[in-house]
Amino acid sequence: MIRIKFYSLLRMFLKQSEIEIDADKISVFALLQKVSEKTKKDIISEVIDAEQLIQGTIILVNGRNIYHLEKMNTIVRNGDKLDIFPPGGGG
Amino acid sequence: MDMFSRNIKFWGEKKQAILKDSSILIAGMGGLGCTVAENLVRAGIGKLILVDNDIITETNLNRQILFDQIDIGKSKVITAKKKLLRINSKIEIMSLEKKIESTNDISKIETSFCGIVDCLDNYKSRFLLNDALKDDQFLVHGGVKNDFGQITTVKNGITQSLRQIFENYKDEVEPGIIPQTVITLGSLMAQEIINNLFGKPQLLNKLLIIELSDFSMFKIDLKK
């Protein structure tokens, strides 16, 4: 299982904070497609534009920002944990 | 009775003395900066360095708790210093009217400080602030929007940097923000600053996300 947690605006959009997907060796993009299928909510269009992560959304795989990994092509494995959130930028 | 007698009943004389001997640089005197500063002064901090180049506008007054209508048009850091000295006239406060546009804007400040508080409103400056962090200092980051926000502690060599955590940020011009968000997050940031000063930070390699809508708090594990 791959566990994905959503926070703030995305948690409200999905009306759930966490989902588990039965998958292994799959890209973050393909994983989010599976989340959309399972939740029947278009999470893809909320966080992705032209197969790129929308600016302002942070995806962490096991605590690491995918921006510093392989971005949407980052491969996740059974047992991995993802956290997805739009950080607050105001002070 | 001492101003801090009720603090001391909780954490004792030794910790009160640690705060008196401590100095903190607050970058950004907006909603978070005002709340952090007031909390630290009432807790008993010995010295604050306030950094911001803005003047107070009417739209600041919903959440920037050190400012009133009569302050509109005045310097944030100079006004904040006056208000904070009214709370405790014995502390040392430096007001620096400057924008953070390079690491030198922080590293060339001619005074020492134990830690930095990131209360800025844009990630470009937040990253520069982090770059100026010395190995013996800590940085407590906070960011807010609408009714949610996040906090973490950064230390060189121990945690990820803000750039590593938040790359792919998007700065928004004047995002929605309500008073209870900055006052809650600012108070929690003050708690984490004090945790750091007492040698027990709780948010090293952890990102605390607070959502006021349904009173949710989450801690995300961040790997170094």
At A5-25, the pLDDT tens digits run: 999 999 999 999 999 999 999
Please state, for a pLDDT cut of 70, what percent of chain B lies above it: 100
SS3 of residue B99 by DSSP: coil
Q: CA of B142, closest CA in chain A: separation in Å?
A: 7
Nearest to A55 among B121, B170, B218 (CB): B170
Residue A16 resides in a domain? yes
Mean pLDDT over residues B67-83, rounded?
98
SS3 of residue B137 by DSSP: coil
The pLDDT score that the predictor gives to residue A23 is: 97
Reported as a pLDDT band with limits 50, 70 and 90, residue A66 is very high
Q: Contacts from A38-44 at CB under 8 Å and sequence distance 24+? A: A39/A14, A41/A13, A41/A14, A41/A15, A43/A10, A43/A13, A43/A14
The pLDDT score that the predictor gives to residue B224 is: 77
Among A7, A12, A62, the residue to mutate for chain B (most B Cβ within 10 A): A7
For chain A, the domain total comes to 1
CB B98 within 8 A of CB B110: no
Domain boundaries, position A11:
2-85
Nearest alpha carbon to residue B21 among B214, B223, B197 = B197
The label of the residue with tokens 């594990």 reads: B221
Rounded Cα–Cα distance for residues A44 and B64 (Å): 37
The pLDDT score that the predictor gives to residue B1 is: 65
Give CATH for domain B5-221: 3.40.50.720
Residue A90 resides in a domain? no
Residue A91 resides in a domain? no
Nearest alpha carbon to residue A43 among A68, A21, A75, A67 = A21
Among A8, A46, A48, the residue to mutate for chain B (most B Cβ within 10 A): A8
Distance between start and end Cα atoms, chain A: 37
Backbone angles phi, psi at B148, to 5 degrees: -140, 170
Residue A41 resides in a domain? yes
pLDDT digits (tens, 9 = 90+) for A21-46: 999 999 999 999 999 999 999 999 89
The helix (H) or strand (E) run that includes residue B44 is: none
Mean pLDDT over residues B3-10, rounded?
98
Please state, for a pLDDT cut of 70, what percent of chain A lies above it: 100
> Domain spans of chain B?
5-221
Residue B173 has pLDDT above 90, yes or no: no
Rounded Cα–Cα distance for residues B213 and B224 (Å): 31
CATH of the domain at A66: 3.10.20.30
